[in-house]
Structure 1
Amino acid sequence: MAKIYFFKKVSEMILTEERAKTIQESTVYDVAKAFLHLESMTPKKLQKLCYYAYSFYLAIYEKKLFDDNFEAWVHGPVNPQLYTEYREYGWQEIPQEINYPNSIMKNERVREIIEEVYDSYGHLDGNQLEYLTHQEDPWKNAREGLQPYESSRNVINDEDIRSYYAGVLKDG
């Protein structure tokens, strides 16, 4: 009987690890497509919504939503891969992704984060979101010692993100 219990526990641990891997296998592109399914938007707004989704997910679950980082660019947090994907739009809106089947939205945790971020920040434009991120410690810490319009590829520290947004949630 002890062997059966042991194997049952091991299989539960493996399933839990597989679920955790599935969550982390989401990409910044998946999250971006989820936001673009809700509306068309500029690349700047998309960057900031993805940053907030990443940040609040990290604060709540102490785990990265996807395996990319954000850098402290002049106009706020930017994911370089996402920038490359949508840079052709410049200041124009990226079209809405009406028919995009996004498997990450089947994950309740991810869906809730995306919905909450959109409900909280979706009414703001890219410039307003840029202003907000410029007031927040993770971006400011990563740009310490830089002039306002000095370019930077400094990665915004995940621990700074986690602790700052955990505090935001606590102060709610």
Structure 2
Amino acid sequence: MFNEKFEAWILGPVLRRVYLHTRDFGLNFSYVLSTKVITENNAIKNISVDKKIISDLTDQEIINVIDKTWEQYGNMSPRDLVDESHKTSPWIKARNGIQENEPSDNQISLV
């Protein structure tokens, strides 16, 4: 579903690209970015770039994973989700030797 690996951040697994996007743009994953650029001869030029951050949520496989995950974890508190993610073997391996409150960008391996 994702090309990059999750990172073992303090509170749980994070896809950096998705985190940065939601921090800046919320949950809108398909948008057009319009911006002004100054060219070499100091002219101002408008450009539009179509951005696609993650796969469309029309893929039935992705929808099924989201639905199943929501059924299993949707009623848990944020603290419970943190605790649950910290129990998994991939999380423990990625955080090995790192203090609980120490930032990390170690990748979580599922193999």
TM band (smaller chain) = 0.5 to 0.7
Say what the alpha-carbon RMSD is for the aligned residues.
2.3
1:104 aligns with 2:57: yes
Alignment equivalent of 2:16, drawn from 54, 74, 80: 80
Q: CA deviation at 1:79?
A: 1.1
Question: Which has the larger strand fraction?
Answer: 2
Matching residue of 1:153: 105
Match of 1:144 among 76, 82, 96: 96
Which 5+ residue runs of structure 2 have no aligned equivalent?
29-54
- Which of 60, 75, 78 matches 1:123? 75
The 5 A counterparts of 1:27-46 are none
The one of the two structures with greater contact order (alpha-carbon pairs below 8 A, sep at least 6) is: 2
Partner of 1:158: helix, strand, or coil? Answer: coil
Unmatched runs of 5 consecutive residues or more in structure 1? 1-64, 160-172
Give the length in aligned residue pairs. 85
TM-aligned CA distance change 1:86 to 1:149, over 3 Å = same
Structure 1 residues 112 and 146, CA gap change in structure 2 (3 angstroms): same
1:66 partnered with 2:2: yes
Report the structure, 1 or 2, having the larger helix content. Answer: 1
- Alpha-carbon distance in structure 2 between the residues aligned to 1:112 and 1:135: 24
TM-score (norm 2): 0.65
Q: Distance in 2 between matches of 1:87 and 1:110?
A: 22
Query: Identical aligned pairs, as a percentage?
Result: 29
TM-score by length of 1: 0.44
Q: How far off its partner does 1:111 sit?
A: 1.8
